[in-house]
Amino acid sequence: MSKEPKNLEQRDGFQSKWGFILACIGSAVGMGNIWRFPIMVQKYGGMTFLLPYFIFVILIGSTGVIEEFALGRRAAAGPVGAFGMCTKERTGSDKSGKAIGAIPIIGALMLAIGYTVVLGWIFKYTFMSLSGSLFNLGTDMGAIGGTFGMTAPEAETLPEALKAMASAGFFGIGNGVWQIVALVVSLAIMVMGVAGGIEKANKIMMPVLFGLFLVLAVYIGTLPGASEGYKYILTLNPAGLAKPDLWVFAFGQAFFSLSVAGNGSVIYGSYLSKSEDIPSSARNVAVFDTLAALLAAVVIIPAMAVVLGEGIRDVSGGPGLMFVYLVNVFNAMPAGRIIGAIFYICVLFAGVSSIVNLYEAPIAFLQEQFKFKRAAAVGTIGVIGLVVSIAIQPWTSQWMDVVSIYICPLGAALAGVMFFWVLGKEKAIAAVNEGAKKPIGGWFFPLGKWVYVICAVLALILGVMYGGIG
């Protein structure tokens, strides 16, 4: 145990409470907030969806988010070191914990690789929106869909995807050049470290993202027809609350939106000062992540109502919403070129902040377990991310499904088991209370042990049953 304080002193870390919170908000605010949450709100009837969603945000924010922050901080390490700490304190050996901790590391890297492809799309569309070429597509859905089709080619299987990329020279199809741009920008932030790169970048990106989304929401609210969009958001259908699917997808949205996967929140927690109040930080992350999702909804749903009218009912979520339907919507609106540019800048900041968090876990793993220097770790993971992401482009959707359905919920469940079941009640509560202004309530441990951990397992089971819930 004597080595842990020394290890903590040598580690980079967040320099301020709000630097940590903004970085965690950045990791949580991702594409799910933008291309899935608004559609769930629209599909299930506004408040009918939001009520169960809020319940699950409260549950997960008050258990899983706190647990992952506290687990990382107590170990001063990412998942491998943190899981190893838990098994060592229970059994005297860290070998099994370290082996299990590799699972969320693999999940983080795989998710980051898939996100690299998506971030390449975002960088391209941000450039196109600023240059005016996106606006010049007008409302021709053939041209808009064709542009995204060339950007994001599709294949049914991984071998087919690899064959297509190889036959085209890997840069002959897809979006490889923009993926390089996206990855270079993200790696540049990471190579500067936690305080000098990640914290400073999020202190800029997150306030700007919220500010710009607010500007979009206010402007769109002034347009004729926007009120119909608000009706979707404010609709409450009590009978709808009896539908099991509603609760499943509300749970999935909250679970994945708060980024509990046993990796990113654990590693960010490991950079947190012992004097910081973890329950307070977790609450702020949950609140601002929810606000970001709601802002996206009050931008996207009224915007679609303005242009599409009743056609809003036929719109589905996912990449098609952001790169096809919304291009058509913004191009048809007054000041559409400006609105589109602002929107994609917001999406860009959300994407960069998320991918930095995802890559940080495997980068820190190389630093902790193999004593890599920061630049060498960033470079190694960056090369892996670039090569694999370019190769799998036509299979990105299936790649992301594998990670989100199987590996992320498994990582969250394993982290919960390690903290609530293996580490033990006394040490777990002490880890949460360190730096807290007041001790956490007696509800925390049993709620985490018996409800949150079971919910994390359910996220895996339900994801398999439904083909994805978040």
| pLDDT tens-digit series, residues 17-32 | 899 999 999 998 888 8
State the pLDDT at residue 10.
60
Write out pLDDT tens, residues 142-174: 999 999 999 999 999 999 999 999 999 889 999
State the pLDDT at residue 2.
35
State the pLDDT at residue 5.
40
User: Is 50 exceeded by the pLDDT of residue 331?
Assistant: yes
Share of the chain above pLDDT 70, in %: 98
Mean pLDDT of the chain: 93
pLDDT band at 8 (very low <50, low <70, confident <90, very high): very low
Q: Distance (Å, rounded) from C-alpha 433 to C-alpha 453?
A: 20
Mean pLDDT computed over 88-104: 96
User: Is 50 exceeded by the pLDDT of residue 301?
Assistant: yes
State the pLDDT at residue 1.
37
pTM of the predicted protein model: 0.94
User: Is 50 exceeded by the pLDDT of residue 4?
Assistant: no
Write out pLDDT tens, residues 365-382: 999 999 999 999 999 999
Write out pLDDT tens, residues 334-354: 999 999 999 999 999 999 999
State the pLDDT at residue 311.
73
pLDDT band at 46 (very low <50, low <70, confident <90, very high): confident
State the pLDDT at residue 235.
86
Mean pLDDT computed over 215-233: 91
pLDDT band at 455 (very low <50, low <70, confident <90, very high): very high
